[in-house]
Amino acid sequence: LPTAVVIVAAGSGTRLGYGMPKALVPLAGAPLLLHSLRGAAGAGLARQVCVAVPPGDTELTELCRTFAEELGDAGPEITVVPGGATRADSVRAALAALTPGTRHVLVHDAARPLTPPEVFHRVAEALGRGAAAVIPAMPVVDTIKSTAPTEGEASAIAAEVVTGTAVREQLRAVQTPQGFDAATLLRAHEVAAAWEPEQAAAITDDAMLVESLGTPVYLVPGDLQAFKVTTPMDLHFAETILAAGS
Ligand code: CTP
Ligand code: MG
């Protein structure tokens, strides 16, 4: 079915701390977005790749234009849209620019530059088996606790206290690309666009919006190399992986 990949690249990269949008930060000499674009187009699934860039950006837009030129008629159509203040706003902006008739959408973080094509394929295959939502997931290695701020005398000891421990075997760390039936994802984002700011601020992926519609979200195996570049250590790790592979 007609498939599009959305790449969200409109974040500021505050935690990476390069003083430029994270998608522009070089990895092995090429901006993160170029790695992600090559991965998304190279997976060979999409007839359109729609990239959300920071509002007012020129550099990432130019990078997309050059990439589209290199691909020529052989590759997917590359569309660029200005992103929004939050990741969900950026996804919404990209969804509005999809070619009519798009049936499947894979939403991918520009910040996951080393995502192997197999992950795209596993997600797309599960969509092909009839799922409306599919996400790549990994087992969790750390034990995850819920916490609350301390109150009263306890606050003299530490700022936070444990309120519970989740069962680790049931937990998964989820990655992108997250795949969706296009109409389902559009509806989920329309609903979320009306959420209160506090609720909207807690949106960290697209699947949780679809979950709130009551639609089943299926899991397929992710990949260690689909990790997100968030901190300087992650970028260092990505450099090391690329150096080892060449
Ligand atoms: N993103 C986006 N629009 C936003 C915020 C984030 O398109 N308003 C994208 C980022 O570009 C990234 C992905 O969502 O590809 C995951 O976000 P994250 O890792 O948090 O990136 P940043 O928001 O750029 O980083 P930070 O939170 O450290 O500022
Ligand atoms: Mg962010």
- CATH code of 224's domain: 3.90.550.10
Q: Provide mean pLDDT across the span 100-111.
A: 98
- Which residue do the tokens 């690329």 mark? 242
Residue 166 located in a structural domain: no
For the CA of 21, the closest atom of ligand 1 is 24
Residue 99 located in a structural domain: yes
Q: Within 13 Å, how many C-alpha atoms sit on residue 181's CB side?
A: 15
Q: Is the dihedral of CA 94, 97, 102, 103 positive or negative?
A: positive
For the CA of 9, the closest atom of ligand 1 is 11
Distance CA 136, CA 143 (A): 20
Range of the domain at 108: 3-137+174-245
pLDDT the model gives residue 245: 87
Residue 18 located in a structural domain: yes
Q: Length of the chain in residues, anyone?
A: 246
Task: Centre a 10 Å sphere on the Cβ of residue 28 and count the other Cβ atoms it contains.
Answer: 13
Total domains, the chain: 1
pLDDT the model gives residue 170: 97
For the CA of 111, the closest atom of ligand 1 is 15
Residue 1 has pLDDT above 70, yes or no: yes
ipTM of the complex: 0.99
DSSP reduced 3-state for 29: coil
* Whether the CB of 228 sits within 6 Å of ligand 1: yes
* Whether the CB of 37 sits within 6 Å of ligand 1: no
pLDDT the model gives residue 38: 98
pLDDT the model gives residue 246: 66
For a mutational test of ligand 1's pocket, the pick from 22, 80, 204, i.e. the residue with the most ligand atoms closer than 8 A to its C-beta, is 22
